[in-house]
Chains A and B, each alone.
Chain A
């Protein structure tokens, strides 16, 4: 089954404790992206990756890091989480962003609470 898998689904942690949210897709997609969803703000892009070893900032990259060492994986790293990063996070992938008619496939989300 084609899917985007995020882990963990839920996490409560404390300020300053480094954490990683994993994202993996099994569709051989080139493009992957991270979003955060906050009430009244919709989805905002954090980082995206056009392909392996190619990443770039989205609208709200501060406080986040990403890496794309393999095509299927695109982890989101919070080196020193702060309460304003409490949010619902989504990973998405699509076949090829140069061909813009490809819709994005989303994971089920990761709800992070930073105390």
Chain B
């Protein structure tokens, strides 16, 4: 069975500071990995995805994530955050099994303060 652990439920940072949101997964097979962002009162939007190839993946709004197979991690980073990045971020994994299931982590609330 696949599972996703987002290590921090809340991450407060100051504007223009760097940020890392941590995600670890468990799966017995190869995975596809995703980060989604949810702004207040909205649905989820795809930030970036890892399917194969380069382990460093770039997404929208200046975010990037690095896939580390040995540590089963897919941490999300941004070198300088803005107030507008305040949102909840979800890591998700699809292990490609026959149940066609996308498993989400519990989310990390990023709060950017002025």
Contacts and interface: CB of A to CB of B under 8 A. Distances in A.
Contacts of A33: 102
Interface in B65-114: 90, 94, 96, 99-102, 104-107
Given A90-B43, A106-B43, A40 B106 contact: yes
B9 interface: yes
A106 B105 contact: no
B44 interface: yes
B38 to A, nearest CB: 8
Contacts of A109: 41-43
B49 A43 contact: no
Interface string B45-59: 110010100000000
Interface residues of A, number: 27
Contacts of A90: 43-44
Given A90-B43, A103-B34, A106-B44, A97 B100 contact: yes
Interface of B: 9, 32, 34, 36, 41-46, 49, 51, 90, 94, 96, 99-102, 104-107
Interface of A: 4, 31, 33, 35, 40-45, 48, 50, 56, 58-59, 90, 92, 97-98, 100-101, 103-104, 106-109
